[in-house]
């Protein structure tokens, strides 16, 4: 009887030990990541630029990728189109109005698998005081790699499109041929390197207790 009772207590005690979660946390490396954009200019060519300061966190569940989440913050004042005058105009109230809205954020709401290697990530983009749903197509998510510096990294490439009018960024000028100076559709291209945070993530909910063994028969 004593042995059976000890076994029962031990099995119940296992329920108070935490279990390791499947998700791992990855931080975006600003030094090896970029958010680029392109937009039509005067209906004739495409102008490209990038935001040089971007941060983000990826909660990645490799067992079920659809349970993963991502958040990204972009410093709009870090815009660089390789033309200081144009950058100043883009920072002004005509466009981003960075004095009033210094950052843009993207927070995922859904992750879907598309084929074997691609993902569709839907999320809320907050820009210029407006929040709208946006879809990003993740073209690739690399396997983890150990670096010579003792870290583990992965690479991500994602693309998307937005209409700047949806975010109340409407400044424009008509040109002689009937077109406009700046296109409304903006193409986005994200290339990111993320580094895994050290240490396991621990569930806050205790593990399910194992069933107690059957009572010992009398005389055993």
Q: What residue ranges do the domains of the chain occupy?
A: 20-196
Of the pLDDT bands very low, low, confident and very high (cuts 50, 70, 90), residue 7 is very low
Q: Give residue 20's pLDDT.
A: 44
For residues 11-19, give the mean pLDDT: 36
Structure confidence by residue, pLDDT tens digits, 124-177: 999 999 999 999 999 888 999 999 999 999 999 999 999 999 999 999 999 887
Of the pLDDT bands very low, low, confident and very high (cuts 50, 70, 90), residue 218 is low
d(CA 87, CA 92): 9
Structure confidence by residue, pLDDT tens digits, 54-78: 999 999 998 999 999 999 999 999 9
Report H helices in the chain.
2-13, 84-91
21-25, 65-69, 201-205, 215-219: the lowest-pLDDT one: 201-205
Q: Give residue 117's pLDDT.
A: 84
pLDDT tops 90 at residue 50:
yes
Q: Are 38 and 187 in contact (CB under 8 A)?
A: yes
User: How do 34-41 and 69-75 pair as beta strands?
Assistant: unpaired
Tokens 């990204």 correspond to 72
Give the torsion sign (CA, 70, 76, 81, 86).
positive
d(CA 111, CA 28): 18
Does the global pTM surpass 0.75? Answer: yes
Structure confidence by residue, pLDDT tens digits, 78-127: 999 999 999 999 999 999 999 999 999 999 999 999 988 899 999 999 99
Is the domain 20-196 a CATH 2.40.128.110 member? yes
138 Cβ contact list (under 8 Å, min separation 6): 118, 119, 120, 121, 156, 157, 158
Q: Give residue 9's pLDDT.
A: 33
Single out the residue of 217, 196, 188, 161 nearest to residue 4, CA to CA: 217
* Phi, psi (degrees; rounded to nearest 5) at 77: -70, -10
Count of Cβ atoms closer than 10 Å to residue 86 Cβ: 16
User: How do 54-61 and 152-163 pair as beta strands?
Assistant: unpaired
Of the pLDDT bands very low, low, confident and very high (cuts 50, 70, 90), residue 212 is low
């Amino acid at each position: 009887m004593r042995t059976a009772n000890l076994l029962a207590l031990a099995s119940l005690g296992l329920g108070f030990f935490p279990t390791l979660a499947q998700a791992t946390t990855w931080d975006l490396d600003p030094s090896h990541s970029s958010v680029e954009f392109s937009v039509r200019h005067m209906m004739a060519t495409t102008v490209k630029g990038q935001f040089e300061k971007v941060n983000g966190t990826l909660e990645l569940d490799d067992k079920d990728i659809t349970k993963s989440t991502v958040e990204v913050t972009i410093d709009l004042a870090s815009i660089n189109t390789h033309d200081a005058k144009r950058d100043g105009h883009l920072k002004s109230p005509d466009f981003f109005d960075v004095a009033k809205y210094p950052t843009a954020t993207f927070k995922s709401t859904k992750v879907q698998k598309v084929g074997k290697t691609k993902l569709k990530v839907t999320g809320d983009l907050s820009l210029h005081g407006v929040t709208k749903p946006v879809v990003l197509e993740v073209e690739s998510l690399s396997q983890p790699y150990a670096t010579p510096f003792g870290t583990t990294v992965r690479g991500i490439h994602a693309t998307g499109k937005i209409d700047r009018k949806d975010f109340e960024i409407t400044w424009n000028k008509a040109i002689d041929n009937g077109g406009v100076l700046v296109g409304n559709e903006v193409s986005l291209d994200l290339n990111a390197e993320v580094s895994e945070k050290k240490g396991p993530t621990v569930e806050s909910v205790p593990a399910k207790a194992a069933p107690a063994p059957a009572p010992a028969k009398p005389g055993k």
